[in-house]
């Protein structure tokens, strides 16, 4: 999957230039609220519970200041992503023990016709493995800048 292919799954309604949260739980809730606000999640509590279960299996903090909490849930009818960043950093129990500054929250229904959930996750990990992409995302202030980074 090309990175430009995942751009339609992002929206300005689910973009947070600076998270207010200072904890993992707070960040998950703040990002989950963006799904609720854009009418993509039917039940916020189901989403939060799924995310907590996923984190209890193992941290979604993949290192280099990145977390990609993700999962399938009946709370949504479509694959979608929220993005938030924090300059302060949040303890996420990441594999490298470093604070997380870039968070991509991916949710998908239990089954999806086009089966893009895992390819999207892989594409994000590949994109974020490049330091220049992480640095650019850390400096983005608007959704327009964010989209430009994703399409460059």
Residue 70 annotated among the catalytic residues of the structure: yes
Among candidate residues 14, 24, 34, 70, the one labeled active-site is: 70
First to last CA, the chain: 15
E-only strand ranges, the chain: 15-16, 61-63, 66-67, 70-72, 80-90, 100-108
40-to-1, 33, 113, 134 alpha-carbon distances in Å:
23, 10, 17, 27
Q: Which residues are catalytic?
A: 70
């Amino acid at each position: 999957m090309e990175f430009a292919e995942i751009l339609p799954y992002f929206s300005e309604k689910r973009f947070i230039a600076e998270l207010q949260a200072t904890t993992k739980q707070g960040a998950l809730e703040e990002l989950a609220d963006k799904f609720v606000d854009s009418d993509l999640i039917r039940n916020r509590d189901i989403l939060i519970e799924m995310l907590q279960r996923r984190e209890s299996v193992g941290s979604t903090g993949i290192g280099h200041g990145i977390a990609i909490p993700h999962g399938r849930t009946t709370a949504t009818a479509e694959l979608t992503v929220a993005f938030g960043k924090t300059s302060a950093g949040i303890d996420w129990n990441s594999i490298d023990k470093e604070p997380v500054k870039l968070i991509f929250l991916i949710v998908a229904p239990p089954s999806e016709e086009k089966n893009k959930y895992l390819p999207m996750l892989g594409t994000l990990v590949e994109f974020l493995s490049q330091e220049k992409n992480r640095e650019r995302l850390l400096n983005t202030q608007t959704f327009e800048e964010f989209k430009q980074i994703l399409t460059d």
